[in-house]
Amino acid sequence: MECLSCGDCCARMSPFGENPCPHLTKSNDIFTCDIYELRPDACIQHSFPSRFCPVGVSVLGIETREAITARIDLINDNRRDYGKAKKILARRNR
């Protein structure tokens, strides 16, 4: 399943007992996990029996395949920018 990073699942079903999840961050209308590499098994295994998350489709009001593609491109751009920023901060903290 492709997550559309709407934040709804993390806001309502946090495995940490807090809602929303304390690790949920928002950047450019994209919700991400600030501990993604270390996220709990409950988060890793969360899925739906469909290619794209139906919750995200509903929450975001996505109606076309083109809109899904645009959303996934936005998510990938955001992840790439986040990775670059993380590397820069790591270099500065050496």
Distance between CA atoms of residues 37 and 83, nearest Å: 12
Contact 77, 24 (CB under 8 A): no
The predicted model scores a pTM of: 0.73
- Residue 92: pLDDT above 90? no
Contact 57, 68 (CB under 8 A): yes
Tens of pLDDT, residues 24-33: 988 878 888 8
Tens of pLDDT, residues 1-26: 888 889 898 888 888 888 899 999 88
Tens of pLDDT, residues 28-67: 788 888 888 888 998 888 888 888 889 999 999 999 999 9
Count the Cβ atoms, other than its own, within 10 Å of residue 75: 19
Distance between CA atoms of residues 58 and 81, nearest Å: 26
